[in-house]
Chain A
């Protein structure tokens, strides 16, 4: 089970990283969501998975049971899920707003905050690229 979860988490990580390296904003968003899932699985996996042993002291029992599933990582995941939900919601709105303001979602055309350039330059460049077969 641990191995299966590790491989799944690894696959999700690689998929997420591949996606955030794409140019399209929506794909980057998908990548961030995948990375979030990957981390949650990894957190789940950090407690040695012990099935069927809840961390409860049974009726008539005294003291902590010797073997029990660690509840802490699950509490961590719960927090992480809530946080990533909020942040994903914000990121979705940001992507939508970006498309609304800029009219495109290609990251390669969003370089005006890195190097001084005119908006018109990019517009003509885009047109030229479209006209080429």
Chain B
């Protein structure tokens, strides 16, 4: 049961490869696959909420020797939300991906990327985590360069080089961990690492992991590859990356810094907290300077990563629960915003804020589609972003971290400013140059429907805040108490 989130994308990826010559079958498969994934993962989520953490030993090798797959509530939530986003992107890419890119294997790559993401979410072994990262990166490398346009190639070079560097650091950290503890099973490591005599070495390795995962999750000061590359491919691919890839980096950070490296919290988690603050501020300031719709949104990804790290840096159950809730909220809102950018481009043929305009008078519906996720991202009540940020800020206030609380609030205002700027430029501004040849193009329902779907889920998230927060609190309890994870993997052994 636990391996299904990996096996389903693998199966559909292979089926897509088998149907290489028929785009129609590939498109159909791309819709069926995520639906299967959603049903399996939501069933799993409910089961894990009731039963507790589940683990599977691959090949029936007993725990510290073989590879373990582990699903706790946090992983289950991530797998489910990834499946929902995957379905939205599959719908969007029915028309959002041009024929040439689809012919060169967009759909198989989409599934292999999904397999890597899900694998990273449910593995319980550090080296296996590296392997899933590479599966995911390989698919994303091809996706970002797919089509081979000039900016895409330039972006791909930066993306590939910096991510390979991060993988190298990750592998170095894994090697050193093995040298210290003699195991790579995460549950076993959680037991072995406190026994290591040279605790300073453990902290050193922790920082190496922090750097490796910070590059992957685009945290300050290692985010420069993201705004240089994310806006270059078509919007469906950008939305896929923004929804899933950086979040896998944050997931890995949260996993590693709640389970393994909790020996020297006052040192490591303070660094994370400072990084979180700077990530929020630089992200939103970078966004304020942009005039390209997609680049602006790319900078907002960075700013939101800061909020996710904030929960980890504060390191209390309340803060982690708020981070998990924030993760769900930001994946939905961000993907919806990228979809809207794609729709706007479809209508007016450009991403340049200066050349856009007039959309409010022509397309009120599209304007509304932008407004809801944008205000949610800025954190206005009663949208989901408000509850997510409120949770983080209360957690910070309870721990007496007033500085970071102030930064979080200020960045919220800046986000609102940035979203207002987009609103003014794209929707309210009168378009001066009415080019008769450049008539507004019609938008396909395949593009609008998934956007509406994501916004509806996001609204549901804010309406059902109470049960969702309870779920997030349960997940955070499991994260804060590693013994649950350890006993699930190693069985009652000490």
Tell whether B134 is near chain A: CB-to-CB under 8 Å. yes
Of A73, A87, A114, A119, the contact of B134 (CB 8 Å cutoff)? A87
CB contacts (< 8 Å) of A107 on chain B: these are: 157
Contact status B157-A114, CB under 8 Å: no
Contact status B127-A90, CB under 8 Å: no
CA separation between A128 and B149, bound complex, in Å?
Answer: 26
**Which residues of chain B from 139 to 189 have a CB within 8 Å of any chain A CB?**
141-142, 145, 148-151, 153-158, 160-161, 164-165, 168, 171-172, 174-176, 178-179, 184
Contact status A83-B292, CB under 8 Å: no
Contact status B157-A80, CB under 8 Å: no
Tell whether B138 is near chain A: CB-to-CB under 8 Å. yes
Contact status B168-A101, CB under 8 Å: no
CB contacts (< 8 Å) of B142 on chain A: these are: 90
Contact status B148-A97, CB under 8 Å: yes
Most buried by B among A32, A86, A119: A32
CA separation between A119 and B156, bound complex, in Å?
Answer: 17
CB contacts (< 8 Å) of A80 on chain B: these are: 171
Binding stretch for chain A, among B10-18, B226-234, B301-309: B226-234
Contact status A20-B161, CB under 8 Å: yes
Closest to A79 in B: B131
What's the minimum C-beta distance from B365 to chain A, rounded to whole angstroms? 30
What's the minimum C-beta distance from A50 to chain B, rounded to whole angstroms? 14
Contact status A113-B154, CB under 8 Å: yes
Task: Knowing A97-B153, A113-B151 are in contact, say whether A73-B127 is a contact too (CB < 8 A).
Answer: no
Task: Knowing A87-B164, A90-B141, A116-B292 are in contact, say whether A25-B157 is a contact too (CB < 8 A).
Answer: yes
Contact status B150-A43, CB under 8 Å: no
CA separation between A7 and B161, bound complex, in Å?
Answer: 25
CB contacts (< 8 Å) of A35 on chain B: these are: 164-165, 168
Closest to A29 in B: B161
Contact status B145-A86, CB under 8 Å: no
Tell whether B358 is near chain A: CB-to-CB under 8 Å. no
Task: Knowing A101-B148, A112-B154, A113-B154 are in contact, say whether A83-B131 is a contact too (CB < 8 A).
Answer: yes
Tell whether A123 is near chain B: CB-to-CB under 8 Å. no
Task: Knowing A110-B154, A113-B151, A113-B231 are in contact, say whether A39-B171 is a contact too (CB < 8 A).
Answer: yes
What's the minimum C-beta distance from B213 to chain A, rounded to whole angstroms? 17
Closest to A114 in B: B228
| Interface SS majority for chain B | helix
Tell whether B291 is near chain A: CB-to-CB under 8 Å. yes
Contact status B157-A94, CB under 8 Å: yes
Contact status B138-A28, CB under 8 Å: no
Contact status A113-B229, CB under 8 Å: yes
Contact status A102-B160, CB under 8 Å: no
CB contacts (< 8 Å) of A46 on chain B: these are: 175-176, 178-179
Closest to B145 in A: A94
Tell whether A91 is near chain B: CB-to-CB under 8 Å. yes
Closest to B141 in A: A90
CA separation between A97 and B158, bound complex, in Å?
Answer: 14
**Which residues of chain B from 391 to 413 have a CB within 8 Å of any chain A CB?**
none
CB contacts (< 8 Å) of A25 on chain B: these are: 157
CA separation between A83 and B137, bound complex, in Å?
Answer: 11
Tell whether A56 is near chain B: CB-to-CB under 8 Å. no
CB contacts (< 8 Å) of A83 on chain B: these are: 131, 134
Contact status A94-B160, CB under 8 Å: yes
CA separation between A114 and B230, bound complex, in Å?
Answer: 11
Tell whether A98 is near chain B: CB-to-CB under 8 Å. yes
Contact status B153-A102, CB under 8 Å: yes
Tell whether A5 is near chain B: CB-to-CB under 8 Å. no
CA separation between A119 and B153, bound complex, in Å?
Answer: 14
Contact status A72-B178, CB under 8 Å: yes
Contact status B227-A114, CB under 8 Å: yes
Closest to A86 in B: B138
CA separation between A81 and B151, bound complex, in Å?
Answer: 31
CB contacts (< 8 Å) of B291 on chain A: these are: 116
**Which residues of chain A from 91 to 109 have a CB within 8 Å of any chain B CB?**
91, 94-95, 97-98, 101-102, 107
Given contacts A97-B145, A101-B153, 11 further A-B contacts (CB under 8 A): A32-B161, A32-B164, A80-B171, A86-B138, A90-B141, A91-B160, A97-B148, A98-B157, A102-B150, A110-B154, A113-B155
- The 7 closest A-B CB pairs, nearest first, are A46-B179, A43-B175, A46-B175, A110-B154, A113-B155, A39-B171, A35-B168
23 example contacts (A-B, Cβ-Cβ < 8 A) are as follows A25-B157, A28-B161, A32-B161, A36-B168, A42-B172, A43-B175, A46-B175, A46-B179, A73-B178, A76-B174, A83-B131, A87-B138, A87-B141, A90-B141, A90-B142, A91-B160, A91-B164, A94-B145, A98-B153, A98-B154, A102-B154, A110-B158, A113-B231
- Interfacial residues, chain B to chain A (CB-CB below 8 A): 127, 131, 134, 137-138, 141-142, 145, 148-151, 153-158, 160-161, 164-165, 168, 171-172, 174-176, 178-179, 184, 227-229, 231-232, 291-292
